[in-house]
A and B are shown apart, each in its own frame.
Chain A
Amino acid sequence: MREIIKLLEKDCRLTAEQIAKILKRDTAEVEKQIKEMEESGVIAKYKAIINWEKVDQNLMYALIEVKVTPQTDMGFERVAKRIYEFPEVHSMYLMSGGYDLAINIKGRTIHDIAKFVTEKLSVLDCVISTSTHFVLKKYKDSGVIFANDVTDGREVISF
């Protein structure tokens, strides 16, 4: 199981048949295990990691630090839900340290992001303060290095 997860985490386009060959297992068995993991949510989703800079120079990313007041009986969960339900929120974490929530957000322009912060986030009662940091350049995302174009520098053939 762990072996299948590790392979899929690196490349989710591997087929059950390929995985079966790599791990010397039965294809049907691998298919079944993948299905189980999809159903139980171990595998949450399959998506591509896009280097948007190559497609659209205008995309803006920001990291927003948010301080909130936790709700009496629900702690941070309720507050968190109010925020992560916004489709603009790309990822969000509860943090230890100087602030509570870290939010990653993506917008077309700086105005999109400003609008989200001023009109949607800051106006929430539970939000005490926000601090928005714009991303200037993405070097690495989800374990993938964007900064250097990885090309095969080897000669075409060698002994």
Chain B
Amino acid sequence: MSFEFNLSDIVRDIKPSGIRRFFDLVGEMDGAISLGIGEPDFVTPWHIRDAGIRSLEKGQTYYTANSGLKNLRNEICNYFERRFNLSYNENEVLVTVGGSEAIDLCIRALVSEGDEVLIPEPCFVCYDPCVRLAHGIPVPIVTEEKDDFILTPEKLKEKITPKTKLLILPFPNNPTGAIMDKEQIEAIADVLKDTNIAVLSDEIYGELTYGKKHFSIANVPEMKDRTIIVGGFSKAYAMTGWRLGFAVGNNSVISAMTKVHQFAIMSAPTTSQYAAIEALKNGDADIEEMASQYDLRRRYLIDRLNKMGLKCFEAKGAFYVFPSIKITGLKSEDFCKQLLEKKKVAVIPGTAFGESGEGHIRISYAYSIETITKALDKIEEFLKELGVNFK
């Protein structure tokens, strides 16, 4: 008798990302130049790798405390104090397997069946499915280019209902590169302060802002208690493969998250935790050096895109730009497919980050100027062949 699995309804109904086919296509293409990656091109700075290696040499190969090494949690508190002017104690910190796990835990800890979660879009891909897995209802709020892709208080108000439990605040944003400054965040705080809505602030790109320092909603005094900040080592320290992140915030939520983490994960990777201590202690200069490299590339990229007719708002965070391709008359996915087939250049269709990404593409600048130049030359050729006339 043949056996057939009867999958969970929720898992079955999670849409396989619409652009899976496009990803497969890229995978099959030999010698493509990619500007499609969501992780740093830098390798982890040597002193941090060395700390990981030394921890292995010393035989530090055991589980750590569920919430992470005490030393590391302390360093995370110092880090927030030093770089973002925010005070937490070690009981308000949970060390996780990447920011990804922290996002999942936070949603699971807060959301009950039928709760609504507000998600500004276009955004990173994990929020919607995590909310669904927690039996919650994702409610997208479409951010627009005319507002520089920020969340406005008006748009927020419009979507608040008695069932709203949580707002996800994904800035600096993947894929738009948008950041929100102090005044803009305060306007959001104003709307929230008379509600019971909690905030999950995804600040994984908080170290990567250009020109303006990142301002967290937790910096607004009335907001700190209701905000869980998710952060991590992947982007700021070029440590994606180490799979290490964290959440900080009110102990009642952190404890609830720790409960889930304890059963699902036990503890984050030990080697990575030792390396992360070194990163936090001696890595500020690395962050700044990498950020300054990204900034150089960012300026070059935005300027060239605008000159070739792909209108591009000035993204001030993360390492992405999100130009409009409406001038070509093509849908995002068709644009990307044709660009790949004709010029062997891979960029990501805006629709990968929600329907509201239609008409845009995401270009990453986690690449050398040389690679960016090569790819841009090809995109320029492609536009010419399409007969785009933008003058």
Contacts and interface: CB of A to CB of B under 8 A. Distances in A.
A156 B27 contact: yes
What band does the interface of chain B fall in when counting residues whose beta carbon is under 8 Å from A?
Answer: 20 to 34
A159 B304 CA distance: 23
A39 to B, nearest CB: 26
Nearest to A15: B373
A14 B27 CA distance: 31
B369 interface: yes
A154 B34 CA distance: 10
Contact of B370 (A11, A21, A158, A159): A11
A85 interface: no
A56 interface: no
Contacts of A14: 369
A88 B373 CA distance: 38
A155 interface: yes
Given A21-B299, A22-B296, A22-B299, A156 B124 contact: no
A17 to B, nearest CB: 10
Contacts of A156: 26-27, 32, 34, 36-37, 346
A7 to B, nearest CB: 8
Interface in A11-28: 11, 14, 18, 21-24
Contacts of B352: 159
Given A18-B369, A18-B373, A159-B174, A154 B303 contact: no
B348 interface: yes
Contacts of A11: 369-370
A152 interface: yes
Nearest to A24: B299
A159 B352 CA distance: 8
B199 to A, nearest CB: 22
A49 interface: no
Contact of A22 (B346, B353, B369): B369
B300 A22 contact: yes
Contacts, number: 49
What band does the interface of chain A fall in when counting residues whose beta carbon is under 8 Å from B?
Answer: 10 to 19
A159 B38 contact: yes
Contacts of A159: 38, 124-125, 174, 348, 352-353
Nearest to B40: A154
Chain A contact residues: helix, strand, loop or mixed? loop
A18 to B, nearest CB: 7
A21 B303 contact: yes
A14 B373 CA distance: 10
Given A18-B369, A21-B299, A157 B304 contact: no
A21 B308 CA distance: 14
B270 to A, nearest CB: 23
B80 interface: no
A158 B36 contact: yes
A23 B297 CA distance: 10
A7 B292 CA distance: 12
A24 B124 CA distance: 30
Contacts of B124: 159
A19 B136 CA distance: 49
A157 B300 contact: no
B41 interface: yes
B41 A154 contact: yes
B39 interface: yes
Interface string A124-138: 000000000000000
Contacts of A22: 296-297, 299-300, 369
B348 to A, nearest CB: 6
A155 B300 contact: no
Contact of B37 (A18, A21, A24, A154): A154
A24 B34 CA distance: 25
Interface of A: 7, 11, 14, 18, 21-24, 152, 154-159
7 A-B pairs closest in CB distance: A157-B36, A21-B303, A158-B38, A22-B296, A22-B300, A21-B300, A156-B34
Given A156-B37, A157-B346, 5 more contacts: A154-B41, A158-B39, A159-B174, A159-B348, A159-B352
Interface of B: 23, 26-27, 32, 34, 36-39, 41, 124-125, 174, 296-297, 299-300, 303-304, 346, 348, 352-353, 369-370, 373
11 contacts: A18-B300, A18-B369, A22-B299, A23-B296, A156-B26, A156-B34, A156-B36, A156-B346, A157-B23, A159-B352, A159-B353
